[in-house]
Amino acid sequence: MTTGDILLIERPINVRFRKDYKAVIILDQSKLPNHTEFIDLVTKEDMYQAILKLKVRGAPAIGICAAFCYAVYANLFFSEAFAEERLGKNPVCRELFLNELFTFKKYLASCRPTAVNLFWALERMEKALLAEVEELPKDCELTIDSASSIVNRLIGEACKIQYEDISMCKAISEYGLSLLKDGDGILTHCNAGPLATSHYGTALGPALLGHERGINIKVFADETRPLLQGARLTAYELHKAGVPVTLICDNMASIVMKNGWIQACMVGCDRIASNGDCANKIGSSGVAILAKHYNIPFYVMGPTSTIDFSCRSGDDIPIELRSGEEISEKYFSEPIAPSGINLYNPAFDIIDHELITAIITEKGIVRAPFDTGLLQ
Ligand code: MRU
């Protein structure tokens, strides 16, 4: 398929198209920091497994990746269909194609339940698809030319989602930085940096942007058990960028707060309910409770695409349950728990809105009452 000039900018490296648009190339986050490996997602199973196994992770990056996968899947469908139908002499049935994409969307949407950006991005892609199909001649058949315009539209929409994310992250970082001063220490949980988004990140954005401007922000990164996104990704990204970062175990947050080293907590989010309750990586609510105890402001940062007004409170947000093996074996040379022990491994928890000082989106800094503030 031809693509026009929409793909000339290639700055984000965590998610991108292969040149023939028949694969999504991702930086495999599960291998960091020891190995920088890029992998091609070609089949729908590759795509599903990459998100499920956190090869690509972080709410905005999951959404971006799903959008790229959607465009590639459509392109592959047409390439195969037209190849089979004797090099494009016969057209492809529109209903067949649409049904294939509806099924693919449902399949991909089922791989992780908490981050709303996944569903948001897939919805947006489907809307773009239907709008493009609407503009085509009304007969049941799709020609090579119609297929080409559909694929171009989808590639364009996916790129738009990614580039909008860059400016949203920049705006969030600016707002976050406005709340800090030179020399401040922040505590963060999990990874909400460029790897989890497209650029700057959300919760790591203020420290990265501050560093670019000569403002010194020191970051304390919770290791973030059990999948260690803090140790493997946050420490890696900040250290690489030259931002002072200190890695701590999750149970050390209290002591660094007590020592007076933390002037603000900044975390990302996977879904924001309309009352301001926020889902983020398991352990975030504990950090918020500690912050309240030590009178430290607690900021949740995420694009407005993370707000889900259909959830009235955190109770309506589905919490992903993951394999217990991630607690008992992963990252250890041998199992650390007795075999057969009960394991409970929720991937996220809900930060009660009463513990949140402000929610920072690309539109600004929202303080309580969140139900009205988030609507603006
Ligand atoms: O399970 P993960 O690694 O996808 O969880 C990620 C988080 O909890 C992040 O804080 C959140 O997605 C925001 S990323 C900007």
Nearest-atom index, ligand 1, CA of 189: 10
How many folded domains does the chain comprise?
A: 2
For residues 24 and 104, state if they share a domain: yes
CA pair distance 205, 48, nearest whole angstrom:
28
| CATH code where residue 272 lies | 3.40.50.10470
Q: Would you state the pLDDT for residue 83?
A: 81
Judge whether 65 and 165 are in contact, CB under 8 Å.
no
Question: What confidence tens digit (pLDDT) does each residue in 257-279 have?
Answer: 999 999 999 999 999 999 999 99
For residues 144 and 282, state if they share a domain: no
Is the CB of 306 within 6 Å of ligand 1?
no
Range of the domain at 242: 173-373
Judge whether 362 and 167 are in contact, CB under 8 Å.
yes
Question: What confidence tens digit (pLDDT) does each residue in 37-75 have?
Answer: 999 999 999 999 999 999 999 999 999 999 999 999 999
Q: Please provide residue 190's backbone torsions phi and psi, each rounded to the nearest 5 degrees.
A: 70, -150
For residue 170, give both structure tokens.
């920049």
Percent over 70 (pLDDT), the chain: 95
| CATH code where residue 137 lies | 1.20.120.420
Q: How many residues does the chain have?
A: 376
Q: What average pLDDT does this structure show over 155-176?
A: 97
Q: Would you state the pLDDT for residue 38?
A: 97
Q: Which of 220, 231, 313 is nearest to 267 (CA)?
A: 220
For residues 156 and 236, state if they share a domain: no
For residues 349 and 212, state if they share a domain: yes
CA of 264 to the centre of ligand 1 (A): 19
Q: What is the pTM of this model?
A: 0.94
Q: Please name every residue paired with 24 in a beta bridge, in sequence order, or none if there are none.
A: 17, 41
CA of 271 to the centre of ligand 1 (A): 10
Residue of 190, 204, 236, 351 best suited for mutating to test ligand 1, as the one with most atoms within 8 Å of CB: 190
For residues 291 and 267, state if they share a domain: yes
Model confidence at 5, pLDDT cuts 50, 70, 90, reads very low
For residue 145, give both structure tokens.
């030319």
For residues 194 and 283, state if they share a domain: yes
Of the three residues 148, 168, 188, the one that is the final residue of a domain is 168
Q: Please name every residue paired with 308 in a beta bridge, in sequence order, or none if there are none.
A: 273
Judge whether 94 and 140 are in contact, CB under 8 Å.
yes
Q: Is the pLDDT of residue 91 over 80?
A: no
Q: Looking at ligand 1, which residue's alpha carbon is closest to its atom 10?
A: 268
Q: Would you state the pLDDT for residue 195?
A: 97
CA of 196 to the centre of ligand 1 (A): 7
Q: Which residues are catalytic?
A: 270
Model confidence at 10, pLDDT cuts 50, 70, 90, reads very low
Q: What average pLDDT does this structure show over 186-202?
A: 96
CB atoms within 10 A of CB 31: 14
- Look over the chain and give the mean of its residue pLDDT values, rounded to a whole number: 94
Q: Would you state the pLDDT for residue 1?
A: 37
CA pair distance 299, 145, nearest whole angstrom:
49
Give how far Cα 149 sits from Cα of 64, 152, 261, Å.
21, 5, 55
CA pair distance 349, 203, nearest whole angstrom:
17
For residue 366, give both structure tokens.
């929202």
CA pair distance 183, 215, nearest whole angstrom:
7
CA pair distance 258, 178, nearest whole angstrom:
24
Residue of 26, 269, 287, 319 best suited for mutating to test ligand 1, as the one with most atoms within 8 Å of CB: 269
Question: What confidence tens digit (pLDDT) does each residue in 337-365 have?
Answer: 999 999 999 999 999 999 999 999 999 99
For residues 84 and 193, state if they share a domain: no
Percent over 90 (pLDDT), the chain: 89
For residues 130 and 199, state if they share a domain: no
- Using left for φ > 0, alpha for ψ between -120 and 50, and beta otherwise, residue 213 falls in alpha
For residues 198 and 317, state if they share a domain: yes
DSSP codes of every residue in 25-59:
EEE-GGGTTT---EEEE-SHHHHHHHHHTTSS-SH
Number of H helices, E strands in the chain: 12, 16
**Secondary structure of residue 117 in the 3-state scheme:** helix
CA of 54 to the centre of ligand 1 (A): 10
The one-letter amino acid code at 83 reads: A
Rounded (10°) CA dihedral 231, 237, 242, 245: -30
Q: Which of 57, 60, 349, 115 is nearest to 232 (CA)?
A: 57
Q: Which residue has the tokens 């920049």?
A: 170
Judge whether 63 and 51 are in contact, CB under 8 Å.
no
Is the CB of 281 within 6 Å of ligand 1?
yes
